[in-house]
Structure 1
Amino acid sequence: MSATTVTGTSGEDRSDYTRDESRAIRRRSLRLLGSLVSPLTWQLVLAGAVLIVSTALRVAGPALIAYGINNALPAVVERTDWMPTIGVVAVFLSAGVGGAALIGWYVVVAARLTQAVMLDLRKRIFLHTQRLSLEFHESYTSGRIISRQTSDLDTIKELLDGGLNELVSGILYGVFTLIALLLLDWQSGVILLVMGLPLYLLMRWFYTRSQRVYRESRVISAQVIVKFVETMTGIRAVKAFRKERRNDDEFGALAADYREVNMRSIRLFGTFEPGLMAVAAVSVALVLLWGGLRVVDSSLLIGTLLAAVLYVRNFFAPLQEVAFFLNSYQSATAALEKVSGVLEEEPTVPDPVTPVDLWTSRGHIRFDGVRFGYNAATTILPDFTLDIPAGQTIALVGTTGAGKSTLAKLVSRFYDPTEGSVTLDDIDLRRLHPKDLRRAIVMVTQEAYLFSGTVADNIALGKPDATMDEIRAAARAVGADTFIEALPDGYDTDVNKRGGRVSAGQRQLISFARAFLADPAVLILDEATASLDMPSERMIQDALQTLLADRTAIIIAHRLSTVAIADRVLVMEHGRIIEDDTPAELIAGDGKFAQLHAAWRESLV
């Protein structure tokens, strides 16, 4: 099959896809849609049955009018017999009321279906993105994730709420109307079928032209969201580097592109709708002309002609709703492609198929012939072997890019080695049960992230079932209890977004209390004191002594004051260990660490 390039933008924010790739994406989206609706089969059957019956009742109206004019009205005029007229009026009213009631029922059933699908989809995205590995989140921007969960889901919801209902009811209404017209007057039905050709060409033209426009609209919409989120998230850097004017220009350009693509879609619809009205007008005129000629020569009754005209007009009426559906469909298709793309992502660090339990960990870490790189082009750890006995505190020192944080990420199993193995108590981390891994190994980072909620909630993150006494004990152990008690509501104080109510040093103490309460066998401190000033660092030194006691610890630090508490210092360079000894021995020597320590002492002076 040829791989002819088609235009358009995909769910992954690309503007060109081969035909085979486009088909694969459509199949992926259909699989997702099928998995969402398959649990709702009986509700779909009920909605379909209600819609069919209600549509049949609505379509019966013109036929009843024709019968009334052709038969009931002459009976009144010729024989003063009102019974046929009363019967037609009663049936007409019953059909109208019954159809309206069933439509109301259908709207309720369809709304329940939509809400069930959206609930399932929203939960899937949230749960799946949490399950994905760190590699995905480091490459997939937060703005794009937010766009998947907000604007893309809203677009899909709009389609299910209105567009899909309009499409299904419009198609059913059109088919039933055509059948009724053919049964009532086949010649008028043939005219309508012939006019179906220009109608098809018009619909096809609109569909193909709008496909690229609406997909581009979703892509540019996501770019606008990404730009906004990144700017607001990094507002400190924006202010520090006076980036406001440049951001204004960049955001203005994106907003202008978004306006332009929306204007293109409006112009398309502005051409399509008058074209549809023209085809409808010509169809009605032809039926009226041909029917009028037959009424003149008495081969067609006037009531039948009136019903035929009503049927032709009714046939075109829902097509505008179908066009609105095409409008929503293009956007929703692009949104569904993006969502299905995220849900198709597989974790690069998968859970083991047959996990090994480790109820109690000693904390013995070993790297055995590990090779690792974040991509095929670069290798961070070329051939790394290291043994960390249980209970030992090691410090990793080296220049930026030496591989220190990479080593920590491998121990935490945020990534898996390309070759070799990382073991905990002689069990490969790839085989270890995830719950045991997360309980045994905890990392405290420089950011010290606090979630919305109380101070107590944030400390209990590592042990959700902790009692208030345990939370207070953990805070006291690391020296955080004093400042927490001084907060407006103590442990019940809401820290606000990202811990805005507490200082950087206090946030770090809370994160230490969180780690202490989790009581891991292995604790990793990745630049945990890098953002602190000297007084705050001194305040945290005592907390570190408590935190690191009786557990294996890996400290990554540029500040050598933190390194002093380690049992062993490893100096790394280009993914290899070039020095390995106690802090005192390395300082007394003339190696890399001694040079770094001397430079650090001079900086203090």
Structure 2
Amino acid sequence: MTTTPDLKKTARDEQNGQPETDGESAAHAASAAELLPVATGRRTRAAALELLRPDRGLAVRSALVLVAATGVGLLMQPLLGRIVDLVAEGARRGSVSTGVLTLPVVLLVVVALVQGASTALGLGMVARLGESVLARLRERFVERALALPADRIERAGSGDLTARVTGDVSRVSEAVRSALPELARATLTIVLTLIALAVLDWRFLVAALLAVPVQAWTARWYVRKAVPLYAQQRIATGAQQQQLLETIGGADTVRGHLLEDDHTQRVEKRSHAAVELSKRGVRLVLGFYGRLHIGEYIGLVGVLFAGLVLVREDTVSIGTATAAALYFHNLFGPINAALVLLDDAQSATAGLARLVGVTDLPDETDGPATGRSEDAFVHVRGISHAYGEASPVLHDVDLDLHEGEHVALVGTSGAGKSTLARILAGVQRPTRGEVTMPAGANGRPGAVLVSQELHVFAGTLAEDLRLAKPDATDEELRAALSTVEALTWAEALPDGLDTVVGEGAHSLDAAKAQQLALARLVLADPLIAVLDEATAEAGSAGARLLEQSSRAALEGRTALIVAHRLTQAATADRVVVMEHGRVVESGPHEQLKDAGGPYARLWAAWSGTRESA
């Protein structure tokens, strides 16, 4: 129910005592992001076979249809050769009868029609096969990506995952939709045409094979250079997107600290690296085509020369030699297509390896340990956490939450409150220590986090609410909205719960969007609710409304509340005060307010600010 803000900035804020946000858990990854893994070539091929296995029957049928279509198409060259022989024979007699040409011409038309129909059928089956495999890959990737621990994504940088879910998925999709059917067809044409050349005369096959060493060397040369180049391109594109996301996402901070030139240079540097790699790719492809043409001409000269010799020896007819030349000439397209598709194949393989690298990530337990503590509902022991190589932001924190208790977490900016909240909610894994809490059951989650950073998903208001409970009835949706005092404005929308909200549709202000998140919390009905400054984005009037909505949403459940406004702490069952990543005070509001300690100073400062306002 929460999105990630400017993570790197907030991680630094946690260290430097600057204002913190929900993104306090940010990766301190500005120096070196820990990119998500890339699968090996062997593992990528194995994963592709795994994805294909459920549709192997369709794969076999597709192959048979394409073999038949290609075989029928190869009848054209002998028919054309027969026409040449008939014309040559008629020329020797002094006249050519059009009647003798009728049958081969009709057969040419029939062959063309049958080949066209069967090829269309086969390519359609291959396309359907490819779409099925692609859908399976997408499902696995999205499922695994959504299950990744938040800190793992943060260490890699959001740009890395964004590049995979956009550029890599797109590249693989394009290959599956166009390259796979064309490659299948080209490969079959090459194999069957070579067999046909051998049937005409084995010497035609030998002559045609003169092109193979050049073509094989070209392919090997290209693959050796293309594989690392495309891998570098994908990494460079991910780094470029990451830098753009950081610069645009932190635009206010960049402008506020007059860092425009510095960030422009960073973006320019990343973009220049990506462009240079693209230019290398263009030069590589041009060299690839040049070498292919040399191989084609060598093979064609060989076949023509073999035909000349065999015709002079009266071993084959002029028509047969013509058919052989046409066979080889018709190989130009399939061979070039197959070799050129190496470009798409290598690029798609690099993208597939990056996707498989994510789907193969081990299933790391993202949430806290489960199991009921004897003396507390939630048991936090020895929690320490640091972002990357940075200094720890939490130091051996111990904390207990009793069933039904509402605990307010307060402290100065950078104290570690949001980090502790995210760890307790299972969004962040601690560097050291453990959290023990009851496990969710019967679809009821153990813990849910609601923060000031949230997202209104594009779709109807009802669909947005059902993200928390897909099978919720309209009555349940209205009850949840009513609980958080949002039903009135929700029903006042143009189409009520069917109003389309989110980007490009009906917009919701900060207070309404937060109430929507709280309504999702009610629908999810977790055992433990974690609110991380959930009223911080609203103004004073909106904050009071959200505090009422929050109290209603938390009624009857255990809750940890990172309190942006100390009025939330005043109404909590217990207040926990943090300083520099440690718990320094814990107790009821009134007791701490009168104790003269850190909380009393916070309360005095807060009260003074309110009075002056």
TM-score bracket relative to the smaller structure: 0.7 to 0.9
- The question of 1:580 aligning with 2:595 is answered no
Maintained 8 Å contact 2:394/2:582: yes
Alignment length (residue pairs): 576
* Amino acid paired to 2:451: T
Q: Does 1:28 align with 2:40?
A: no
> What whole-Å deviation, never above 9, does each CA across 1:440-464 have from its counterpart, x for those lacking one?
5333212243323344554555444
Contact 2:535 2:547 in 1 (8 A): no
The normalised TM-score by structure 1 is: 0.82
TM-score by length of 2: 0.81
2:418 aligned residue (392, 405, 418): 405
What amino acid is aligned across from residue 424 of structure 2 in structure 1? V
How far apart are the structure 2 equivalents of 1:553 and 1:351? Answer: 16
C-alpha deviation, 1:582, in angstroms: 1.4
The residue matched to 1:178 in structure 2 has which SS?
helix
Alpha-carbon distance in 1 for matches of 2:254, 2:388: 34
CA distance in 1, matches of 2:44, 2:172: 12
Instruction: Check if 1:559 corresponds to 2:565.
Output: yes
> 1:276 is aligned with what amino acid?
L
Paired residue for 1:335, among 351, 356, 364? Answer: 351
Amino acid at match of 2:402: P
Structure 1: tracts of 5 or more residues without a match: 1-13
Residue 336 of structure 1 and its aligned partner are, at CA, apart by 0.6
Deviation at 1:515, TM superposition (A): 3.1
Give the direction of change, closer, same or farther, for the CA distance of 1:401–1:269 in structure 2 (3 Å limit): same
Decide whether aligned partners of structure 1 residues 89 and 231 sit closer, same or farther in structure 2, where only a CA change above 3 A counts.
same
Q: 1:367 aligns with which of 372, 379, 386?
A: 379
- 1:8 aligned partner: none
Matching residue of 1:112:
128
CA gap 1:515/1:48 in 2 versus in 1, 3 angstroms? closer
Q: Does 1:603 align with 2:603?
A: no
Deviation at 1:578, TM superposition (A): 2.3
Aligned equivalents of 2:186, 2:167: Cα separation in 1: 27
Q: Give the partner amino acid of 2:572.
A: A
- Please give the secondary structure, in 2, of the residue aligned with 1:589: coil
Secondary structure of 1:317 counterpart:
helix
Q: Work out whether residues 363 and 391 of structure 1, in 8 Å CA contact, stay in contact via their aligned partners in 2.
A: no
SS at structure 1 position matched to 2:459: coil
Distance 2:231 2:301 in 1: 38
Are residues 1:435 and 2:457 paired?
A: no
Larger RCO: 1 or 2 (CA < 8 Å, sep 6+): 2
Deviations 1:122-165 (A, max 9, x none): 22222222222222333344443333233222211222222233
Is this contact kept in 1: 2:197–2:324, CA < 8 A?
Answer: yes
Listed as ranges, the matches of 1:71-470 within 5 Å are 74=89, 88-229=104-245, 233=249, 250-349=266-365, 365-367=377-379, 369-373=381-385, 381-415=394-428, 421-424=434-437, 427=438, 429=439, 433=441, 435-436=443-444, 438=445, 440-459=446-465, 461-470=467-476
Matched residue SS, 1:422: strand
Residue by residue over 1:543-580, the C-alpha shift from the partner in whole angstroms, topping out at 9 and shown as x without a partner, is 34434444322221243222111222222235443222
The Cα offsets for residues 279-306 of structure 1, whole Å up to 9 and x where unpaired, read as 3223322333353245345454322322
Q: Report the CA distance shift for 1:146/1:363 in structure 2 as closer, same or farther (over 3 A).
A: farther
For residues 204 and 583 of structure 2, what CA distance do their matches in structure 1 show?
Answer: 88
Whichever residue aligns with residue 45 of structure 1, its letter is V
Cα 1:304/1:363, change in 2 over 3 Å? farther
Q: 1:6: which partner in 2?
A: none
The answer to whether structure 1 residue 531 and structure 2 residue 537 are counterparts is: yes
| Cα separation, partners in 2 of 1:539 and 1:187, compared to 1, 3 Å | closer
Question: Does the 8 A contact of 1:284 with 1:312 survive in 2?
Answer: yes
User: Which amino acid in structure 2 is aligned with residue 281 of structure 1?
Assistant: Y
What CA distance in whole angstroms lies between the structure 2 residues aligned with 1:471 and 1:115?
36
- Give the residue type in structure 1 aligned to 2:423: L
Does the CA contact (< 8 Å) of 2:527 and 2:557 recur in 1?
Answer: yes
Structure 1 partner of 2:14 = none
Task: Supply the AA of the counterpart residue of 1:496.
Answer: G
Candidates 59, 63, 69, aligned match of 2:78: 63
Contact 1:394–1:567 (8 Å) recurs in 2: yes
The more displaced of 38-47 and 70-79 is 70-79
Amino acid at match of 1:330: Q
1:502 is aligned to 508
Which residue identity does 2:294 align to in structure 1? A
Secondary structure of 1:318's match?
helix
Higher mean C-alpha displacement, 274-283 vs 412-421? 412-421
Contact kept in structure 2, 1:62 and 1:310, CA below 8 Å: yes
Question: By how many angstroms is 1:107 displaced?
Answer: 1.5
> Does 35-44 or 509-518 show the bigger shift?
509-518
Judged with a 3 Å threshold, the aligned counterparts in structure 2 of structure 1 residues 451 and 97 are, in CA distance, closer, same or farther, namely: closer
Tell whether the 8 Å contact from 1:73 to 1:85 is kept in structure 2 after alignment.
Answer: no
Structure 2 CA distance for aligned equivalents of residues 385 and 493 of structure 1: 45
| Cα offset, 1:70, TM superposition | 4.8
Pairwise CA distance, 1:325: 0.2
Q: Distance in 2 between matches of 1:70 and 1:482?
A: 88
Q: CA deviation at 1:386?
A: 3.0
Q: Deviations over 1:479-522 (max 9, x none)?
A: 43455455555555443329973332333333334434544443
CA contact (8 A) 2:385 2:432 kept: no
Contact 1:401 1:574 in 2 (8 A): yes
Rounded to whole Å, the distance in 2 between the matches of 1:170 and 1:467 is 54
Mapped partners of 1:44, 1:469: distance in 2? 48
Give the match for residue 11 of structure 1. Answer: none
Separation in structure 2 between the aligned mates of residue 190 and residue 470 of structure 1, nearest angstrom: 77
* Unmatched tracts of structure 2, length 5 or more: 1-31
Contact 1:184–1:304 (Cα < 8 Å) also in 2 = yes
Asked if 1 retains the 8 angstrom alpha-carbon contact of 2:81 and 2:320, the reply is yes
Q: CA deviation at 1:528?
A: 1.6
Deviation string 1:188-221 (CA, Å, 9 cap, x unpaired) is 3222223322232223223323333333333344
* Sequence identity percentage: 31
Q: Is the 8 A contact 1:349 1:413 kept in 2?
A: no
Q: CA deviation at 1:68?
A: 5.0
Q: Contact conserved, 1:396 with 1:556, CA < 8 A, in 2?
A: yes
